[in-house]
Structure 1
Amino acid sequence: MIKIYAPASIGNVGVGFDILGAAIMPIDGSLLGDCVSVQSSKTFKIKNYGNFSNQLPINMKDNITWKAWNIFNKKIKIIKPVLITLEKNMPIGSGLGSSASSIVASVLALNKFYKTKLTQIELINIMGKIEGFISGGIHYDNVAPCYLGGLQLIADDTTPVTQNLPIFNHWLWVIAWPGSTVSTSIARKILPLKYKKEICIKNSRNLSTFIHALHTNKSELAIQVMIDEIAEPYRIPLIPNFLKIKSEIKKLGALSCHISGSGPTLFSICSNLKIAKKIKIWLEKNYINNKSGFVYICKIDKLGARRI
């Protein structure tokens, strides 16, 4: 049996809409991500379990793991019945790369099970294609970091599609999912079809300076330009009291506070554990609205998806 774990991820990372993505892991050792196992079977079967398996579609062919298996088999021309087991630990529509986690784990598990030895480029292209079915367009800002780990810059739909970026090891990332959902497709449709030239220039300046700051080890500069001009201003209505929460989080010492992906998960960057713990407690009291919600203090997961 092959079993793959694929971590949660933060899309956009504030300043880099559809261009930046970061894999994360809780510092308490929890596995925040989906697991997929593949084993031989007389007939094709998919089994689902986990905290959020009840959110999965009833129709098997609407399941991401089926889509992965279908595309994978068409590509490698292997028709072999398997039992795929999806451990759904990630809430759907959370803004933490839930679909990417299932996709990456499925594709890598199938690749290892069939011993096809597809290249990294071939695998990531398959992952992006499946992600496109979910969000309405191919983008890699979740699948790339989920697969490869670290902070990834999405270069283009060319070879290579992604570049690994340096990151500040002392940064702690506090992520908070309130227990509600936001549709990725709706969050994308709410964005304007056209942007003013001034907005584009400002966002390009911020993104370029942010990447420069990473490479020159200037963490204060990175935080200073970590400003989202493209998505966050238009998605504020999707996150109740977002501006108030952001203000309170910064008063507690957070370096930044942004929407993770399409939301409603928020992430804040902290310079030390003491501040991160204060923010975690505040978010648990003021942002989590049901028993399903959670808050984790995380660091960047540099390993990405792996066999367990």
Structure 2
Amino acid sequence: MIKIYAPASIGNVGVGFDILGAALIPISGDLLGDFVTVKLSKKFNLINKGLFSNKLPQNIEKNIVWKCWVKFCNVIKKNIPVSILLEKNMPIGSGLGSSACSVVATLVAMNELCNKPLNSKELLFLMGEIEGEISGSIHYDNVAPSYLGGLQLILEDSETISQTIPNFKNWFWIIAWPGIKVPTSKAREILPKKYKKEICIKNSRYLAGFIHASYSQQPYLAARLMQDFIAEPYRIKLLPDFLKAKENIKKIGAISCGISGSGPTIFSISDNIHTAQKISSWLTKNYLQNETGFVHICFLDSKGARKIG
């Protein structure tokens, strides 16, 4: 029996649309993500439990875990009957890589159970392929950090899909999910098909500057450059409270703030725990829309997917 945990993640990280992703772990030490337990069985069986299991499709063949199992068996050209327990702790359509958590945990668990027939590159490629089928286009900015940990730069080079880039150890990442859903497909549809040359150049400049600041360890430069010119101007229509929240968070002392993935979760960054706690309190009182919403102060999770127990 194999049990794997895969952490939640922030896609885009503001400045890196589809090419930057960050894995998260609450500073409390609690795990924020999905668990998948796999064991050999006489036939395929799937059990769903966890905080958000009631939001999963009733039809087993529409469940991401089933799709992962089918794809994995097809790739290794062998049918492996298993019993799978999915602990769905991440809200669907939250902008925290919920589908990526399930995809990563399932494929890592299957690979471990079968004595690792796929290497990490092959596994990551398969994760991206399945994630693409769910959201409508292949993108690795959630699966890569959830699998590999840390802050990931998606290269999609013929030899290298993703690489870890340095992050800032004294940064606190405050995330707030309001308790509502924004489907990734809807958030992608709202984006324009074409962008002006000036916007493309500006975005490239800020992204290159952020990568440079990360490697040269200039935290305030990196924070100033974490601006989203590609998605945020259009996605704020889906998040009516975002601009107000961003303005107030900045007043409290956040050094950066943005939409996590396709939203509605937002993230902010502070280099001071007291400021982070003030931001967390403000978001809890003003950004959450129901009792299922949550706020966490996090570090980046350097471990990524791992075996539990």
- Same fold judged by TM-score > 0.5? yes
Matching residue of 1:204:
204
Q: Secondary structure at the match of 2:257?
A: strand
| Residue identity opposite 1:49 in structure 2 | K
**1:167, 1:286 → 2: CA distance?**
29
Q: Secondary structure at the match of 1:112?
A: helix
Q: Secondary structure at the match of 2:5?
A: strand
| Residue identity opposite 2:56 in structure 1 | L
**1:10, 1:259 → 2: CA distance?**
9
Deviations, residues 129-152 of structure 1 (Å, cap 9, x unaligned): 110111001110000000000000
Matches within 5 A, 1:5-84: 5-84=5-84
Matching residue of 1:86:
86
**2:100, 2:241 → 1: CA distance?**
28
Deviations, residues 171-225 of structure 1 (Å, cap 9, x unaligned): 0000000000101001001000000000000000000000000011111111111
Deviation at 1:116, TM superposition (A): 3.4
Matching residue of 1:119:
119
2:241·2:287 contact (CA, 8 Å) conserved in 1? no
**2:93, 2:119 → 1: CA distance?**
30
Deviation at 1:241, TM superposition (A): 2.0
| Residue identity opposite 1:86 in structure 2 | L
Matching residue of 2:299:
299
Select between 19-28 and 74-83 the one with higher mean Cα deviation. Answer: 74-83
Select between 238-247 and 6-15 the one with higher mean Cα deviation. Answer: 238-247
Q: Secondary structure at the match of 2:86?
A: strand
**1:265, 1:80 → 2: CA distance?**
37
2:222 corresponds to 1:222: yes
- Going from structure 1 to structure 2, the CA distance change for 1:256 and 1:72 (only over 3 Å counts) comes to same
Deviations, residues 34-54 of structure 1 (Å, cap 9, x unaligned): 000101222210000000001
2:181 corresponds to 1:173: no
Matching residue of 2:246:
246
Matching residue of 1:268:
268
- Give identity over the alignment, percent: 62
| Residue identity opposite 1:234 in structure 2 | Y
**1:9, 1:136 → 2: CA distance?**
19
**2:297, 2:252 → 1: CA distance?**
15
Q: Secondary structure at the match of 1:78?
A: coil
| Residue identity opposite 1:276 in structure 2 | A
Deviation at 1:61, TM superposition (A): 0.7
Deviation at 1:157, TM superposition (A): 5.2
| CA RMSD across the alignment | 0.7
| Residue identity opposite 2:25 in structure 1 | M
**1:224, 1:32 → 2: CA distance?**
27
**2:27, 2:119 → 1: CA distance?**
31
Deviations, residues 51-72 of structure 1 (Å, cap 9, x unaligned): 0001111111110100000000
* TM-score (ref. length: structure 1): 0.99
Consecutive unaligned residues in structure 2, runs of 5 or more = none
Consecutive unaligned residues in structure 1, runs of 5 or more = none
| Residue identity opposite 2:257 in structure 1 | C
**2:80, 2:151 → 1: CA distance?**
36
Q: Secondary structure at the match of 1:84?
A: strand
Select between 37-46 and 105-114 the one with higher mean Cα deviation. Answer: 37-46
Structure 1 segments (4+ residues) deviating >3 Å: none
* TM-score (ref. length: structure 2): 0.98
Select between 31-40 and 74-83 the one with higher mean Cα deviation. Answer: 74-83
**1:241, 1:36 → 2: CA distance?**
34
**2:92, 2:274 → 1: CA distance?**
31
**1:115, 1:72 → 2: CA distance?**
13
